[in-house]
Structure 1
Amino acid sequence: MTAPGMPQHQIELEEEQIDLSDLRWHDSLVLLVFWLLFSVVFLQFFTRYVLNDSLGWTEEIARYLLIAVTFIGAVMAVRKESMIAVEIFYRWFPRGLRRALQFGVDLVSIIFYGTMAMTCMRLAQRTRQKMVSIEVSKSYVYWGVSICFACMCLLAIWILIKHLRTGTSHLIDPEQPDEPATGSE
């Protein structure tokens, strides 16, 4: 309630629409691994604080599942082109410079993802150590991360081709992210 003569401020909240057409079957993989992580952490909590007899393997497995959620989620973020970017500078640059910067960012991303995939692959090949709590090689963790980086690299190549073909992206033309460019500034 406002006092007479005072301006009345209204806050309008827009309902956020979730576009289910943007979800793919492989997006459910990160959800599955997340629920597996949740189950292991709940089991760890339950056995430690309720039963007062902790299962030793839950902490290590939870750590590796968290790594899996992180990198599988990163693949999903690359596919959706939702990685972090400093967008404020793009607003002040002319369209030609924004296109050049987008091309540079796409190339740097491809080089980074490819380099990390190769580095993780070499690390996985050299790892002979087993996990502490179960008799499984730690190299499987590195192979999984390597596969995720390789998927990110392939998706980044596909995104670069799409940006070159359409001439636009959400950073080049924030108003029309999926439309081909029609004019220049």
Structure 2
Amino acid sequence: MIVVNKALLLLGWVNDRLSKLGLGIAWILVAVMVATILLQVFMRYVLNNALPWPEEVARALMIWMMALVAAPALRRGDFVAITLLPDSLPRFISGLLRLVLTCFAIAILWILSDISIDFFQRGFRTRAASFNLARAWVYLAMAVCYFTMLFVTIEMALKHLKALVSPEVES
């Protein structure tokens, strides 16, 4: 149990820092995205001279923003969850079910993380359509999203395990 507690402290510290950093950067990306879209609206409808790049830049910024906020949202429980079954089961069975499902999520995120690295590497073969940037830098958002969600999910699994071993501790 000491190992689980130390791992929880370390993962909690890492996930706290990554969440704060990700959320801070995400706010900046949203602001830049809105400015980019407003620039395009001004250029298209006021000056009648649309720029070729704002839609693609705004889409890339939105993808990165989503990648940076996914893990903090998961950690806070902000994703939609169907809890009817776990909530209706006895406490131990419910905790065991939550642990098993969290372990499945870890396996899936591990696979997705691996795939995202390959996708990132292949992204260097193509460029963005409207400006000179390797698509890999947009695709990197997937790896960031999956790895940060993996860290959060491992922390959640350890909390579920700790709750099973020490029932007086809530997860």
- TM-score with structure 1 length normalisation? 0.73
Structure 1: distance between partners of 2:62 and 2:155: 27
Alignment correspondent of 1:156: 153
Question: Match for 1:83 among 79, 83, 90?
Answer: 79
- What per-residue deviation string (whole Å, max 9, x for no partner) do you get for residues 76-114 of structure 1? 212323322101222321112211111022112211222
Structure 2: distance between partners of 1:134 and 1:41: 16
Residue 182 (str. 1) matches residue 168 (str. 2): yes
**Structure 1: segments with no counterpart, 5+ residues:** 1-22, 169-179
Instruction: Tell me how far 1:60 sits from its aligned partner.
Output: 0.7
Instruction: Tell me how far 1:30 sits from its aligned partner.
Output: 1.6
Residue 52 (str. 1) matches residue 48 (str. 2): yes
Structure 1: distance between partners of 2:93 and 2:162: 17
| Residues 120 and 140 in structure 2, CA contact (< 8 A), matched pair in contact too | yes
Alignment correspondent of 1:8: none
Give the match's secondary structure for 1:164: helix
Instruction: Tell me how far 1:138 sits from its aligned partner.
Output: 0.3
Residue 130 (str. 1) matches residue 111 (str. 2): no
Higher helix share: 2
Instruction: Tell me how far 1:143 sits from its aligned partner.
Output: 1.6
* Closer, same or farther: CA 92–126 of 1 in aligned 2, 3 Å: same
Deviates more, 1:25-34 or 1:39-48: 25-34
> What CA RMSD, in Å, does the superposition of the two structures yield over aligned residues?
2.1
Among the aligned pairs, what percent are the same residue? 24
Query: With CA pairs under 8 Å and 6+ residues apart, which has the higher RCO, 1 or 2?
Result: 2
- TM-score with structure 2 length normalisation? 0.78
Q: For this pair of structures, how many residues does the alignment match?
A: 150
| Residues 105 and 153 in structure 2, CA contact (< 8 A), matched pair in contact too | yes
Alignment correspondent of 1:105: 101
2:67 is aligned with what amino acid? F
Instruction: Tell me how far 1:26 sits from its aligned partner.
Output: 3.4
Give the match's secondary structure for 1:86: coil
Give the match's secondary structure for 1:53: coil
**Structure 2: segments with no counterpart, 5+ residues:** 1-18
Return the index of the structure with the highest Cα Rg: 1
Instruction: Tell me how far 1:44 sits from its aligned partner.
Output: 1.4
